[in-house]
Amino acid sequence: MELHQLTIHELQKLIRSQGIASSDIVKSVFSRIDAVEGNVHAYITLMKEYAFAEAAKADKDVKEGILKPLTGIPIALKDILCTKGFLTTCGSHILHNYVPPYDATVVQKLREAGAVFTGKTNMDEFAMGSSTETSYFGITRNPWDLERIPGGSSGGSAAAVAADECIASIGSDTGGSIRQPAALCGVVGMKPTYGRVSRFGLIAFASSLDQIGPFTKDVEDCAIMMNAIAGYDPRESTSVPLNVPDYTEFISRGIGGWKVGIPKEYFIEGIHPDIEKAMQRAITTVEGLGATCVEISLPHTEYCLAVYYIIAPAEASSNLARYDGVKYGFRPQGSIDLLDMYKKTRSAGFGAEVKRRIMIGTYALSSGYYDAYYKKASQVRALIKRDFTEAFTLCDAILTPTSPTPAFKIGEKMDDPLQMYLSDIFTISTNLAGIPGISVPCGFTKDGLPIGAQFLAGHFEEGKLIQIASAFEKYANIEKRRPAL
């Protein structure tokens, strides 16, 4: 196998034995990028010169006996995370030239762990989308079928891992933007508990929903990445001061005696038949591991989509008010006065989907409508959270499909926003409740497209997710395939 095809833990062993150098890994990854990036378009900005310089430093550290958890490992970053000295665009024209003066906490933590950054990955503009088609910098294609979408909004990060254009990557998840593309690209993706990973330096979409997490090639790598990025950050007001366990210790544990909840509301009409079959096999696999699958109910699931598309746009309307052409980013020429500059900046700087969500959010927050929409949605959100709290008194974890369909064709849903929004129907509730979730590969459709299974657990129980996902991964015996790029 080529070095770019290996996992973090496989490369760590080779680096520790000094069998390979970080420079060799980075060279292999960039050779792969040169070969396939023209077809996939996973990146907005490549950091090749920086990566080779950091790899040389890593090689020097290894020779001196300095070994960190991610020493010399090439990692890609979603272009929503601030990176000092490098473009951070959020996939938007309005930030096409923005270079932050500081690193996001997650970026800083990864640097401290020894990671080497390959570049900034493509994404739906301001993380608003489920297909990575709304980026100002062009679409990303699914490595498994270049005529299909990779999921979104972190489609670039998922595609980069699936195509071996990095060893692991970082994304953000507001309503499924890590788990859904992970499922559609056949990789592992985790959304941690809200407050487990610092959002400092994450350019906000919806502040009460956003969370940062990893994309990896297997569950053990997910545990390694979580060790690196999780933890309390005093600079971030929603960061929770709880100790972080060593997530790799959960890898070898079984789930005998566990109860795994199967929510009846998630097995509905409209699920692709191949996904339905894969989920039945997933249930059989879990039971084969010694767990008992029990039917549970999450009765307010039917309201999740409506609640999400009031709360998220409302928060986006507030967060995106700062992009006015005054301090940074895009500013059009020929404005008559300040108000004219505001209008022209936001009209030309934002894409159609971002404008749509700003208008929805502004309406929901407007005088006379706030109580009817935002307040009511917040009250129902509390009920959705309570559903999960009650469910976890009956089971240790929950199993659901990650996405109702496999990757769809590029352009298929761009003219039908509601159909696009339904792509996240199985992932949105997790963000509303603030609980962690992980998507792991669980098979392929008849057409050879990846399918993902989603496991959910209670607040700050990422260890449980790694435990069940790791056991599932080893026992399910999913056929090892690679995209035929």
Mind telling me the catalytic residues? Answer: 78, 153, 177
d(CA 77, CA 398): 29
Exposure string over 348-371, b if 16+ CB within 10 A, otherwise e: ebbbebbbebbebbbebbeeeeee
Q: 397 - beta bridge partners?
A: 260
d(CA 19, CA 295): 50
Apex CA 337: angle with CA 332 and CA 342, to 5°? 50
Q: Coil, strand or helix: which one is 4?
A: helix
Could you identify the residue written with the tokens 């997910």? 222
Tokens of 294: 């029990």
d(CA 368, CA 378): 16
Query: Letter for the amino acid at 20?
Result: I
Smallest CA-to-CA distance from 128 within 352, 329, 340, 285 is with 352
Q: 295 - beta bridge partners?
A: 262
Q: What are phi and psi of 465, to 5 degrees?
A: -65, -40
With beta carbons less than 8 A apart as the criterion, state whether 75 and 165 touch. Answer: no
With beta carbons less than 8 A apart as the criterion, state whether 351 and 134 touch. Answer: yes
With a CB cutoff of 8 Å and minimum separation 6, the contacts of 141 are: 39, 40, 41, 147, 148, 149, 150, 159, 410
